[in-house]
Chains A and B, each alone.
Chain A
Amino acid sequence: AQKVTQAQTEISVVEKEDVTLDCVYETRDTTYYLFWYKQPPSGELVFLIRRNSFDEQNEISGRYSWNFQKSTSSFNFTITASQVVDSAVYFCALSEGSGTSGTYKYIFGTGTRLKVLA
């Protein structure tokens, strides 16, 4: 069965520290997509990244980086030099389905609350 596990319920760091949010997924599909979303205290959801199962290259976007490892079924997210504005709940999600029919399902992890202290 499909599953996304974010074992870290809450993390607190001091500003400028690096922090890694873990995401482990389970799927039997060979074609799937992984996502990270951010939900700041204001409540809106912000899409951060999408990665397909055939692309294991790590990605860096400014202070954000993602490490995708199929061997360990993990898609971890690192924030370098964290800032107070990074305080939010971060969700990892898995999308799997039929590429032929174009139908997909989305499964979300329970989220990790990141608190960055000044």
Chain B
Amino acid sequence: DSGVTQTPKHLITATGQRVTLRCSPRSGDLSVYWYQQSLDQGLQFLIQYYNGEERAKGNILERFSAQQFPDLHSELNLSSLELGDSALYFCASSGPGLAGTDTQYFGPGTRLTVL
């Protein structure tokens, strides 16, 4: 158990809908990272927050957005969902060091299925 929690574990929805994925980092970690893993795109970094501020951005679509709240939990919002958004979404957190350089601890992931 990495100490990072993600909810829900599974999510099934329809095209065009909007969903919110939630992540709680390990106690004391300030950075939260979001990743998408799909069969055709592999593992992709989406976005990183450090202590409430966006710190790094990867291949995140405009239909996707994220935020990190004062209590450091993070939410990833996916809107206007398409079939191709079906994937496993991981959240990771890392400690108080300089963002991007610390060990990352991963949550169990949220499997999103868009029908």
Contact = CB atoms under 8 A, between A and B. Distances in A.
Interface residues of B, number: 27
Interface stretch (B14-22, B62-70, B74-82, B93-101): B93-101
**Chain A interface category by residue count:** 20 to 34
A47 B104 contact: yes
B13 to A, nearest CB: 20
What does DSSP make chain B's interface, helix, strand, loop or mixed?
A: strand
A91 B3 CA distance: 22
Contacts of A91: 43
B45 A97 contact: no
B42 A110 contact: yes
A103 B55 contact: yes
Nearest to B1: A44
Contacts of B98: 99, 102
B58 A50 contact: no
B99 A102 contact: yes
A44 B108 contact: yes
Contact of B42 (A99, A102, A105, A111): A111
A50 B92 contact: no
Interface string A60-76: 00000000000000000
A41 interface: no
Interface of A: 33, 35, 43-47, 50, 52, 91, 95, 97, 99, 102-108, 110-111
